[in-house]
Amino acid sequence: MTKGIRPRNYGFFEKFDYFVPGVAELFILLAIFLLGALLGNVVTLSAVAVLGSEAGMEYGTLVAYPVMFVPPMLYASIKSRNNSMYREGRKMDSSHFSPLGGLVCAVLVIVGTVSLAFCSDAILTVMPEMPAWLEEMLKGMTTEGNIFINFLMVSLFAPFFEEWLCRGMVLRGLLGNKVKPVWAIVFSAIFFAVIHLNPWQAVPAFLLGCLFGYVYYKTGSLKLTILMHFANNTFSLVLSNLDAFEDVDSFVDVFPGGRYWVIFFACLLLLVLIIRSFNRIPKEYPDGNLDPIKPLFEE
């Protein structure tokens, strides 16, 4: 009999536990996600036609963002339900926090995420200047328009839906199909970077994706990576709306000279210590701490 825990189907994440996509299935999931993105664009254009350009873009995008995840979520939940009869699953959200404890893990990942966000800013200083159209588009999601809508989009919707896809589906699928953990984490981070569609967001997204992936591999907790994503996006959102950061391109402009590098190396040291702390969490299964779930019917 396969080692595993009994299935639970009453929570949101449990709806996807039995769908552990392989590489081919991940491409199918990606294609369905692109179909959802097309559907989201239709929603936005419809809102613009009804409400006008400014209000239509603002409210249309708010609705369109979750809409584009509906098709892949429906597909994954149907596949999971069909697989549950005969195939072992892997929990999308587990809780392997010992010996650190859940609260300590939560504090550590927030500090680690903000530290990495600060450090990754150094890479952006050597990249070409961001195009004006992209800068205006990002401002529209952070500093312009309704701050409540921006918070919903940036701090709530993006962490929840993107973590479901990039860690809950992509990384869990690769780990569950025996892909070497380091490559599974790197590939899921690349996927996370690519969906941001521009190098100025993709580079820090890749670095953050590696950290998110490592924490997910060690704890199995999607709630924890959603918290990390929330911390990063909210940190950026808050800074973008502070007058002191209005015309700032990077932290180098805020902390000139040696002060920036003192903070940089302090954040880097914190990050190393936090990773070492998570390394103390024992690995329960060969493919990481993603709890296996027995099928509903076993021979």
Sequence spans of domains, the chain: 94-291
Each as own residue / partner, the long-range contacts of residues 131-138 (CB below 8 Å, 24 or more positions apart, any chain) are 134/198, 134/200, 138/201
Residues 6+ apart with CB under 8 A from 73: 16, 164
Count of CB atoms within 10 A of residue 248's CB?
13
Buried-state track 145-180, b at ≥16 Cβ within 10 A, e below 16: beeeebbebbbebbbbbbbbbbbbbbbbbbbbbebe
Phi, psi of 5 (to 5 degrees): -105, 165
pTM of the model: 0.89
Report the C-alpha dihedral over residues 54, 59, 60, 63, rounded to 10 degrees. Answer: 170
Q: Per-residue pLDDT tens for 212-241?
A: 999 999 999 999 999 999 999 998 888 877
The pLDDT of residue 150 is 83
Position 229 scores a pLDDT of 96
- Give the tens place of pLDDT for each residue, 78-133: 999 999 888 899 999 999 999 999 999 999 999 999 999 988 887 877 777 766 75
Q: What is the pLDDT of residue 242?
A: 73
Query: Which segments of the chain have a pLDDT < 50?
Result: 1-2
Please give the angle made by the CA atoms of 180, 181 and 184, to the nearest 5 degrees.
85
Query: What is the predicted pLDDT for the residue at 2?
Result: 43
CA distance linking residue 108 with residue 275, whole number of Å: 9
Beta bridge partners of 89: 293
pLDDT at 202: 81
Joined together, the tokens standing for residue 122 give 């150094």
First to last CA, the chain: 9
* Helices and strands per DSSP (H, E), number in the chain: 13, 2
Query: What integer pLDDT is reported at residue 85 of this predicted model?
Result: 86
Q: Which long-range contacts (CB under 8 A, 24 or more apart) does 243-252 make?
A: 246/143, 249/124, 249/125, 250/121, 250/122, 250/124, 250/125, 251/118, 251/121, 252/121, 252/122, 252/125
E runs forming strands in the chain: 89-90, 292-293
pLDDT value of residue 172: 95
Residues in the chain: 299
Written as one letter, the residue type at 249 is D
CB atoms within 10 A of CB 258: 8
Query: Rounded distance, CA 224 to CA 211, Å?
Result: 12
Positive/negative CA dihedral, 23, 25, 27, 30:
negative
